């Protein structure tokens, strides 16, 4: 699941350079998921799912403790944690210092959302939702890990 989340973020990071450089890849990926899910599950449905994912992600990435999911499902405070999407930058240094590597926290959050979708909806519907949100991206079913890895 983490691989799939990283792929989505990488995809958004590439698009980031082309169009909206000020917005983080995590936020853009999250927003795409939000739009896609709100349309069929409602804002409240997405909000509760995202809140659960955030709590789960916070156990892996304590840096996300400052992040909140608002009533309409938007993400607040992520900019302070996830200023950029360069997954490799200073990764080793940050890990040594006990901090979340930049971009890693976002990947964890997105992975948790995908993990919950996989748990509730199964692989076929989750991938179908992703294809809808990222029509130009290609998703290989094998990357989902069948929900065993988050």
**In angstroms, what is the minimal distance from the CB of 125 to another protein?**
5
Judged by CB under 8 A, does residue 132 bind another protein? yes
Q: CB 117 → another protein: shortest distance, Å? A: 8
* Smallest distance from another protein to CB 88, Å: 35
Residue closer to another protein by CB (options 31, 60) is 31
Is the CB of residue 109 less than 8 Å from the CB of residue 64? Answer: yes
The least distance separating another protein from the CB of residue 105, rounded to whole angstroms, comes to: 25
Q: How far apart are the first and last CA of the chain?
A: 5
- Interacting residues with another protein between 71 and 130 (CB under 8 A): 120-122, 124-125, 128-129
For 25, the token pair is 């890849």
Residue 49 as a binder of another protein (CB under 8 A): the answer is yes
With binding defined as CB under 8 A, does residue 137 bind another protein? no
38 binds another protein (CB under 8 A): yes
Specify the residue, 42 or 83, whose C-beta has the smaller distance to another protein: 42
Strand partners, 76: 68
Give the DSSP H or E segment for 75.
strand 75-76
Q: Rounded to whole angstroms, how far apart are CA atoms 62 and 19?
A: 31
Alpha helices in 61-146 (DSSP H): 78-81, 91-96, 104-133
Q: Are 63 and 81 in contact (CB under 8 A)?
A: yes
Residue from 14, 20, 35, 44 binding another protein (CB under 8 A): 44
**Angle made by CA atoms 16, 21, 26, in degrees to the nearest 5:** 55
Residues that bind another protein (CB under 8 A): 38-45, 49, 120-122, 124-125, 128-129, 132
């Amino acid at each position: 699941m983490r691989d799939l989340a990283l792929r989505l973020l990488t995809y958004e990071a590439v698009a980031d350079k082309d169009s909206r450089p000020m917005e983080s890849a995590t936020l853009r990926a999250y927003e795409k998921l939000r739009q896609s899910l709100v349309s069929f599950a409602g804002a409240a449905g997405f909000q509760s799912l995202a809140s659960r994912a955030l709590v789960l992600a916070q156990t892996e990435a304590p840096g996300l403790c400052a992040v909140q999911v608002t009533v309409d499902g938007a993400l607040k405070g992520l900019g302070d944690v996830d200023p950029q999407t360069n997954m490799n930058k200073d990764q080793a240094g940050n890990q040594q210092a006990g901090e979340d590597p930049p971009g890693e926290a976002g990947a964890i959050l997105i992975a948790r959302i995908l993990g919950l979708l996989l748990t509730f909806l199964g692989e076929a519907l989750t991938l179908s939702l992703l294809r809808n949100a990222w029509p130009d991206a290609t998703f290989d079913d094998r990357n989902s890990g069948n929900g065993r890895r988050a």
